[in-house]
Chains A and B, each alone.
Chain A
Amino acid sequence: MNNPAPDDPIREPDPQFSLEYDALGQLVLIDTAGRRQVGVAPVRMFPISDPDGPVSIVDPAGRELASIPRLEDLPDWQREMIQSALAEREFMPVIRRIISVSSDLEPSQWVVETDRGRVTFQLDDEEDVRRLGPYRVLIIDAHKVRFLVDDVRKLDAASRRILENYL
């Protein structure tokens, strides 16, 4: 292996580090000792229940290199860099309107308007529509693409009626 795993399984994440993008478009983490780790990725620890909460930075093998208790504590440039990297990873269209559902038997084709444009997806199982909180709903399509309904109350009446059949 190119980068042998350190033997001690528990390592304290580096509190001081710096980030940059290389010419290949990969995120690079530079630790206090000046070592560069290429291809790191930020991961929100609680993407749904506390999206503004702690973020971990992991290497391509999934080992944690650094952890950030709160993004807002970081300097602006670093926060922005992490946020844009997070946005790249966290593709989760937010459903604004449900235009149609082909049938109330699965598999059904859903046409929805999301914050990222209109899209058609297939729902395989009614259980893939999950309630995440009193008003928040997660829909997982046949490809495991995740769609979020941020607040059921904010949908228009027609969309809400469709969704309520699943909740």
Chain B
Amino acid sequence: MLSDRVDIPEVWQTLPAAIREQLAAELRPGETLVCWFEPDLDRNLRYRPGLVVLTDQRLLSWESPDDGATRLRFADGDTRSSRRQPRWQSWPLEAGLSLRVREHGSAGVLEWVSASQRLAYWRYSLARAVGARRLAAALDALREGRRLESSGHAPPGSAECASCGATLLAHQVACPRCGAMRPKPPVKSLWRLHRFARKWIVPILLGFCLTLVATAASLIPPYLTMPLMDHVLIPYEYGQRDDLSPVKWYLLGLAGAALLAFLLGWARTYVLAWVSERIAADLRRETYSHLQRLSLEFFSSKRTGDLISRISNDTDRICYFLSGHLLDFANDLLMISMTAAIMLWISPWLALVTLCPLPFIVLLIHRVRDRLKHGFQFASRAWAEMTSVLADTIPGIRVVKAFAQEQKEIERFRRANERVLSANDRVNFAWSLFDPVMILLTDLGVLVIWGFAVYQIWQRNITVGVLAAFLQYIGRFYARLDSMSRIITAAQRAGAATQRVFAILDRKSTVPEPARPVHPGRLRGAIEFRNVSFRYGSRTVLSNVNLKIEPGEMIGLVGPSGAGKTTLINLICRFFDVAEGAILVDGIDIRSFPVEEYRRNIGIVLQEPFLFYGTVADNIAYGKPEATRQEIVAAARAARAHEFILRLPEAYDSLVGERGQLLSGGERQRISIARSLLIDPRILILDEATSSVDTETEHEIQLALDNLIKGRTTIAIAHRLSTLRRADRLVVIERGRVVEVGSHRELLDRSGPYARLYYAQFQMTHSHHSPAAT
């Protein structure tokens, strides 16, 4: 019925079912639905569903009569409540009317305005921001007579982001607009370790068999005491002075069983410790390599100390659990069931009486378990927080000392340490209760056995030997139960740790690898920005950037800080992906290149060059470890670093980086330039490469850079405009938009923002040099 009225049927299909019929009735004959948007707030900023619909003739709006509290969700198909008096409003699409989007903080407003007046507005939370912008774009597209590139609604074969409604293509794991990930059903965390255990299945099975045999061996001695007592000792006591020769055999048997249990136990412990160490190592390695592949976004949202603690401390806990406790657990379970079986076999009634406290113990363990798990999670987090304090202050120690804040940092650490303490106290309280309870239950069990067994012996149902064996078995039985209860603790601790480790492993990079990769090989270096926008949360950092850069051209990015220059180069490097639009290199969307292959074409020189701990040569060859010594020296020469490197005590073999040779800012910078030169990138990024050094050094670096720039597409950011003198074109960015493009001369002639910036700096340099200023 609908399909003969509209020519974009998918738009209808994506509409919430509950409203579809109503809207169909509301439209005039021949009217075509173009786009729709669901605001989720009312004017008073309360959650309330609504709908704004754009057709080729009108803008229609509908607001739910219920507020959000009644849980009307279109997607639920809840037609009942939406039938209650829907309120429709409509406006013809007259010339001069436009849709305007304003966002601030966590909410935004979509306004329907004429030149002089606001006709209507709809509020929405950021969760719906994409839809609002899409509607505004659809209106613009309609006005210009073009079909919106994509209606924004899901094309067939793709999914919609569950939280913002943006289109997710098949290969996208995270929503490109809102960053929300496709939710994934959680798995019991400890069990997930089996993925790592599979590789070591043979030694694990071996360890398990050893456990089985060792347990069986340890159950022999009590069994041997039974005949020893009944057939030898008691008759002997009653004066039957027979042959005492079986005694030595019994004793030998006892000794043999003990020895066997010892050897098997040793082998078992060793094998399982060996395996668990390897599982933990695999886990650490995999977590770290996964971490390396995550996008910068992940790192900027995480604290270093926390990540370190997850990889080191949490994996260690898992290892400890696997080696020490998982093993015990299997052992205990076996021991308990075997003990129970033997006891039942010897004397069923006595066994049943002995085992009656068992259900209480199970109940107790169950009760305490949840509390423990959360307690341990809390403790892990407190530990991570403490590591974070260290990771924060140790690299920043110069600032700490310069501001004489040692005492404050000590205090901060003390507080973090105290949180660890109190977190541990909290869990300790819970599990410390276990021990006494276990002892109490054991004592009760023994008491029950004595009472019941004495009765049974009196009744001549069992012998004294059986009682002796039972007393030994019950000791073992409860000892095992006790250790099982400790395992519960360790398992919860390891479970919490596993969860924290898997939180990293489960994180998908927001810079996904393409499903059908195009191998870039060696690029030419033509870059094109096509309608590029980027947002961080609600903040629009770049909007609608269009720019073409020729291969080999040098572009200077100019603008106040916070204008979006660094974001622009982060996008070129694919540290982040664009929110809208595309970046093309040599005419191909960079998202279709495998990330690593693409980045091999990019060299980057940062304001604060980072040198790793290692030799100068290692640092220069960082991006190309297979480089020959000649290549390294050539790169250093071109970067004008060769001579100062020769002055270092061990020349190219001098250690730099943390705990290494102290180098000046300019020297470090030239090493990083050499590093970029060596990989011979097609695209070169200079992010404030000279701003942290003095003019003299800047000159040196500039000479080094001139060598680097030759023949490469270069994008340079600089505050000091003089450093951009070689740029072919300057691109002025203000508040996320390109405001001017042209050569230095052209822009000065235009006397726009660039000219203002330039003269301001010019003046400043001059006043700096005048004596009055100093």
Contact = CB atoms under 8 A, between A and B. Distances in A.
A7 to B, nearest CB: 6
B105 interface: yes
Contacts of B377: 165
A11 B125 CA distance: 34
A93 B302 CA distance: 25
Interface in A48-89: 61, 87-89
Contacts of B186: 102-105, 108
Given A1-B734, A143-B125, A165-B377, A89 B180 contact: no
Contact of A143 (B129, B185, B734, B753): B129
Given A104-B499, A107-B183, A143-B180, A117 B48 contact: yes
B180 A116 contact: no
Nearest to A92: B106
B374 A142 contact: no
Contacts of A33: none
Contacts, number: 129
Contacts of B71: 118
A128 B180 CA distance: 13
B118 A1 contact: no
Contacts of A143: 125-127, 129, 163-164, 178-180, 537
Interface string B171-212: 000000011110111110100000000000000000000000
Nearest to A115: B46
A161 to B, nearest CB: 9
B163 A119 contact: no
B475 interface: no
A119 B47 contact: yes
Interface residues of A, number: 45
A144 interface: yes
A112 to B, nearest CB: 10
Interface stretch (B9-17, B109-117, B150-158, B346-354): B109-117
B263 interface: no
Given A23-B118, A91-B125, A116-B47, A142 B180 contact: yes
A17 to B, nearest CB: 21
A105 B183 CA distance: 10
A122 interface: yes
B232 interface: no
A92 B107 CA distance: 8
Contacts of A142: 163, 178-181
B300 to A, nearest CB: 12
A114 interface: yes
B756 A122 contact: no
B739 interface: yes
A108 B499 CA distance: 14
B67 interface: yes
B181 A107 contact: yes
B69 interface: yes
B408 interface: no
A145 B118 contact: no
B119 to A, nearest CB: 10
B766 interface: no
Contacts of B756: 4-5, 7
B715 interface: no
A158 to B, nearest CB: 14
A127 interface: yes
B104 A41 contact: yes
Contact of A87 (B45, B68, B752): B45
Contacts of B118: 23-25
Contacts of B126: 143-145
B117 A105 contact: no
A116 B45 contact: yes
B553 to A, nearest CB: 26
A124 interface: yes
B765 interface: no
A92 B41 CA distance: 12
B68 A119 contact: yes
B735 to A, nearest CB: 7
Interface in A1-20: 1, 4-5, 7
Contact of A117 (B67, B107, B181, B537): B67
A56 B116 CA distance: 27
B301 interface: yes
Contacts of B48: 117
B100 to A, nearest CB: 9
A144 B538 contact: yes
B431 interface: no
A31 interface: no
Contact of A146 (B106, B109, B753): B106
Interface string B28-55: 0000000000001100011110000000
A107 B179 contact: no
A144 B106 CA distance: 7
Contacts of A102: 183, 186
B720 to A, nearest CB: 17
B499 A122 contact: no
Contacts of B69: 113, 117-118
A156 interface: no
A126 interface: yes
Contacts of B164: 143
A85 to B, nearest CB: 10
B637 to A, nearest CB: 42
A100 interface: no
Interface in B622-669: none
A143 B127 CA distance: 6
A25 to B, nearest CB: 4
Interface in B391-445: none
A54 B306 CA distance: 35
A90 interface: yes
Given A1-B753, A24-B117, A121-B127, A116 B41 contact: yes
Interface string B113-145: 100111001000111010000000000000000
A119 B124 CA distance: 13
A37 to B, nearest CB: 16
Interface in B735-774: 735, 739, 752-753, 756, 760
Interface string B94-111: 000000000011110101
A125 B178 contact: no
B105 A118 contact: no
Contacts of A127: 301-303, 306
The listed residue with most B CB atoms (<10 A of its CB), out of A24, A93, A109, A142, is A142
Contacts of B515: none
A109 B641 CA distance: 54
B106 A122 contact: no
A25 B111 contact: yes
Contacts of A119: 40, 47, 68, 125
B703 interface: no
A151 interface: no
Contacts of B47: 93, 114, 116-119
The listed residue with most A CB atoms (<10 A of its CB), out of B47, B116, B117, B306, is B47
Interface of A: 1, 4-5, 7, 23-25, 41, 61, 87-93, 102-109, 113-114, 116-119, 121-122, 124-127, 141-146, 164-165, 167
By Cβ-Cβ distance, the 7 closest A-B pairs, closest first, are A91-B107, A144-B537, A117-B47, A117-B68, A105-B186, A103-B186, A142-B180
10 contacts: A88-B107, A88-B109, A104-B186, A117-B47, A118-B68, A119-B47, A126-B381, A127-B306, A144-B106, A146-B105
Given A23-B116, A117-B48, 18 more contacts: A23-B117, A25-B111, A61-B735, A87-B45, A88-B109, A102-B186, A103-B185, A105-B187, A106-B503, A107-B184, A113-B69, A114-B47, A118-B68, A122-B183, A143-B129, A144-B126, A145-B125, A165-B374
